[in-house]
């Protein structure tokens, strides 16, 4: 694989530039999930994608300033620069349009499929055919769940889960296997529709983030050659830097489409998803989410005329609480603090249990697709039994007097489900279970409903949703965590509100909102973005100070127990994520401490055979180029040459029989800058594509024109903590380490992402573990 910067020589694995050796008995990975899966000797950083282990590749966001790059920018006219800028904004527009359309049709499909299933079940129950009603309800759920699991297991295993950890890792510089492939996009859309319609306790919000990123990736790399979808006019975006910006826009658009929260989408990308940010990206992301909002508003307005079947109304504000009068006093603040503490405790426990369940499920999932489908079917049957069986425990409640809405509601969603009750009565637990997740949240958030849900109902619903959300997330379907967390949080928010109603003045629906906010803060550990998303969802600006307070308290409490749920999943999957801060023990080390091994370098004019030999024996993606006499007075670091550029140069056979520098003009005649741009997934030149004969192996090639003459370098005495912050802040793939004293070789080694991983550093220096 091209992914790793680890070389394999004489059957012994040696980490490039670090002296890190590895055998079958020593497994320096970070968690048991990878320990169990690492059964073969591998020469690269690995991660769990789907249920299998794949080598991963680090992305390179550095601008390669070689002669070809400089000549390309010098030759660009104002028209071409203008075209480049316009194309960026055009792609932002297309990402917004595509994600908005997908988000709308996702919702349209779920409302109609789930609505038809629930309507059929309700009609059978009105005829007192209760057993048949359960059979239809569970059967529809089973078929939809099996379909979602089958396409996920057989077509795109990477589509399972929410996809937010993978998108977050990609924007950090980690390219895992197939996470943004067209097949993953297809399965994410269809699987999410089937999974949500099947009544699972999951949401489509997380998958929408992944979907937006996949749409952006497909546009950014010029389509897909494998699926015969290519656009050659997108050649300007053949680099990781521009694609990173587009995928950031896609992630923000996904949140905007899922929650109908354009500003919340921008803040989500800024706070949670992106590792690098700048003002130009802020404008493009804001524009993308605005396009999503316009698309959704236009299509929802069209549906209000009854043209979309069972698709609900509600506009852009999904759970409108603006009609509820928001007044709060000093005693209410005490209730808010209680809610925040409860949310932090429940959130920390939720993440702990989810971690354990995911590890247990991985044992089942790695046995193959049939096991994945069987597990999904089992959880589907459990969910159906709970949703249909538990409402039988609730008592029938007389309909409230002077009610504007129909009670009980028949043939549509609402707060007053008839279930098995006589005329004029409703089953409050059925109003939560036998509804789509969006309608259940709307019922919990509804204002002026202080006595519509009994305490026993809220307690049963909370316990069920809390644990079903944990057991559902690990199955092989696209699934999000936002909806289960909001449902559970709104349930205990209402319970706390009912218990403390003698001292609190807030409406029960507002307590549900604050409970949802506290649980989101306790699990996701996001503050600003969640706050804005909830306010855009509910259109209740006066609640801003209370939502802010409850989020801060719940996050602070939960941080004392574990990490956020997405950070935990990143660690569990083995994705080498670079945090914004360095580990404390890295201050006790210097860069030179982890670059003690052999180093492969090339001369400015190198023999072809040496290059081929190095490429075959190593998986390095960057090689230092060192000029020696007669090309320089003494050995000096000329720069860094990339593996992909070497392969393109060798394929062009620009060789000479003598060891002479041909200069940039000779290469510029044969190649353009576009030839060395990064191709899309699986499209680049591979070593097997080269056809070099024996005579050419003894010839020479000038590497100066394709060498990055200004790589980032640090002196060997720089602290490893400082080097880690620099590496992450600049989005690097290679960081050259140069000697402190003269008279030594011009380069000591190269730091790559793997060198900063805690398991690697502590493997070299175990005594530092006590300083963690």
467 and 365: one domain? Answer: yes
User: Is 652 a member of any domain?
Assistant: yes
User: Is 18 a member of any domain?
Assistant: no
Look at residue 61 in the predicted model and tell me its pLDDT: 86
CATH number for the domain harbouring residue 621: 3.10.580.10
User: Is 47 a member of any domain?
Assistant: no
CATH number for the domain harbouring residue 140: 1.10.3080.10
Look at residue 223 in the predicted model and tell me its pLDDT: 62
- Label the pairing between strands 622-627 and 605-607: unpaired
Look at residue 770 in the predicted model and tell me its pLDDT: 63
Q: Burial, 23: exposed, middle or buried (Cβ in 10 Å; 0-12, 13-18, 19+)?
A: exposed
Look at residue 489 in the predicted model and tell me its pLDDT: 95
* Rounded CA separation 756/216 (Å): 29
138 and 248: one domain? Answer: yes
431 and 294: one domain? Answer: no
pTM of the model: 0.88
Q: How many domains does the chain have?
A: 3
| Helices 205-220, 482-499: inter-axial angle, 10-degree rounding | 150
Q: Which residues of the chain have pLDDT under 70?
A: 1-44, 51, 223-237, 311-318, 320, 322-327, 403-405, 411-415, 596-597, 673, 680-683, 770-772
Q: Tell me if the bond preceding 408 is cis, omega within 30° of 0.
A: yes
- Domain extent, residue 213, equals 78-305
* Rounded CA separation 46/42 (Å): 8
Look at residue 326 in the predicted model and tell me its pLDDT: 67
* Rounded CA separation 755/753 (Å): 5
DSSP 8-state secondary structure symbol assigned to residue 421: P
Last residue of a domain, one of 530, 547, 573: 573
Q: Enumerate the β-bridge partners of residue 738.
A: 715
Look at residue 7 in the predicted model and tell me its pLDDT: 32
> For 548-582, how does the pLDDT look when each residue is reduced to its tens digit (9 = 90+)?
999 999 999 999 999 999 999 998 888 889 988 88
Last residue of a domain, one of 271, 305, 339: 305
Closest to 594 (Cα-Cα) out of 451, 469, 748, 489: 748
Say how many C-beta atoms besides its own lie within 10 A of residue 405's C-beta: 12
611 and 750: one domain? Answer: yes
Q: Tell me if the bond preceding 630 is cis, omega within 30° of 0.
A: yes
């Amino acid at each position: 694989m091209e992914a790793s910067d680890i070389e394999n020589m004489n059957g012994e694995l040696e980490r490039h530039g670090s002296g890190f050796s590895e055998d079958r008995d020593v497994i320096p990975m970070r968690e048991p999930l990878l320990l169990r899966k690492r059964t073969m000797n591998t020469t690269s950083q690995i991660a769990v994608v789907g249920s299998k282990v794949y080598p991963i590749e680090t992305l390179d966001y550095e601008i390669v300033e070689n002669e070809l790059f400089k000549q390309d920018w010098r030759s660009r006219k104002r028209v071409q620069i203008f075209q480049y800028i316009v194309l960026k904004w055009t792609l932002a527009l297309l990402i917004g349009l595509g994600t908005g359309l997908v988000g709308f049709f996702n919702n349209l499909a779920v409302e109609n499929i789930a609505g038809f299933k629930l309507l059929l079940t309700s009609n059978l129950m009105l005829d007192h055919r209760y057993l048949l009603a359960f059979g239809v309800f569970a059967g529809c759920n089973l078929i939809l769940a099996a379909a979602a699991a089958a396409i996920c297991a057989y077509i795109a295993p990477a589509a399972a889960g929410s996809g937010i950890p993978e998108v977050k890792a990609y924007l950090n510089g980690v390219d895992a296997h197939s996470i943004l492939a067209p097949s993953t996009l297809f399965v994410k859309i269809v699987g999410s529709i089937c999974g949500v319609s099947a009544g699972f306790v999951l949401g489509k919000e997380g998958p929408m983030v992944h979907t937006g990123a996949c749409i952006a990736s497909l546009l950014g790399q010029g389509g897909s050659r494998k699926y015969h979808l290519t656009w050659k006019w997108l050649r300007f975006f053949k680099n990781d830097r521009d694609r990173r910006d587009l995928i950031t826009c896609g992630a923000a658009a996904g949140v905007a489409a899922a929650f109908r929260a354009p500003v919340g989408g921008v803040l989500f990308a800024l706070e949670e998803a992106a590792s690098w940010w700048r003002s130009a990206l802020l404008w493009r992301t804001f524009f993308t989410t605005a396009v999503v909002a316009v698309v959704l508003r236009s299509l929802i307005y069209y549906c209000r005329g009854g043209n979309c079947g069972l698709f609900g109304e509600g506009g852009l504000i999904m759970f409108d609480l603006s009609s509820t009068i928001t007044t709060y006093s000093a005693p209410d603040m005490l209730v808010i603090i209680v809610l925040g503490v409860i949310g932090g405790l429940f959130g920390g426990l939720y993440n702990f249990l989810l971690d354990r369940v995911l590890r247990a499920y991985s044992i089942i999932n790695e046995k193959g697709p049939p096991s994945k489908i069987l597990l999904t079917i089992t959880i589907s049957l459990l969910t159906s039994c709970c949703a249909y069986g538990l409402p039988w425990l609730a008592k029938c409640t007389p309909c409230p007097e002077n009610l504007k809405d129909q009670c009980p509601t028949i043939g549509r969603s609402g707060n007053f489900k008839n279930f098995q009750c006589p005329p004029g009565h409703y089953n409050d637990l059925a109003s939560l279970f036998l509804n789509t997740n969006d309608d259940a949240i709307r019922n919990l958030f509804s204002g002026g409903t202080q006595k519509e849900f009994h305490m026993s109902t809220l307690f049963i619903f909370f316990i069920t949703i809390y644990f079903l959300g944990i057991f559902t997330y690990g199955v092989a379907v696209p699934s999000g965590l936002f909806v289960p967390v909001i449902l559970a949080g709104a349930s205990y928010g209402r319970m706390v509100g009912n218990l403390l109603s003698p001292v609190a003045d807030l409406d029960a629906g507002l307590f549900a909102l604050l409970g949802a906010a506290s649980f989101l803060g306790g699990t996701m550990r996001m503050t600003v973005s969640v706050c804005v998303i909830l306010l855009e969802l509910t259109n209740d600006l006066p609640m801003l100070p209370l939502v802010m307070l409850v989020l801060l308290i719940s996050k602070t409490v939960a941080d004392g127990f574990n990490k956020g749920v997405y950070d935990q999943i990143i660690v569990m999957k083995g994705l080498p994520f670079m945090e914004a801060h360095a580990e404390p023990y890295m201050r006790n080390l210097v860069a030179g401490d982890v670059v003690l091994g052999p180093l492969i370098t090339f001369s400015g004019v190198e023999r072809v055979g040496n290059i081929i030999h190095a490429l075959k024996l190593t998986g390095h993606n960057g090689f230092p180029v060192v000029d020696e006499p007669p090309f320089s007075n003494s050995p000096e670091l000329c720069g860094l040459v990339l593996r992909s550029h070497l392969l393109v140069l060798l394929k062009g056979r620009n060789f000479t029989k003598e060891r002479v520098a041909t200069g940039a003009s000779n290469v510029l005649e044969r190649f353009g800058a576009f030839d060395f741009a990064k191709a899309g997934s699986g499209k680049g030149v591979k070593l097997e594509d080269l056809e070099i004969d024996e005579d050419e192996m003894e010839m020479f090639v000038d590497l100066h024109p394709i060498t990055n003459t200004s790589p980032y370098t640090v002196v060997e005495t720089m602290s490893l903590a400082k080097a880690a912050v620099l590496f992450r802040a600049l989005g690097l793939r290679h960081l050259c380490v140069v000697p402190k004293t003269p008279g030594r070789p011009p380069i000591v080694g190269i730091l790559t992402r793997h060198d900063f991983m805690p398991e690697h550093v502590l493997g070299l220096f175990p005594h530092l573990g006590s300083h963690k």
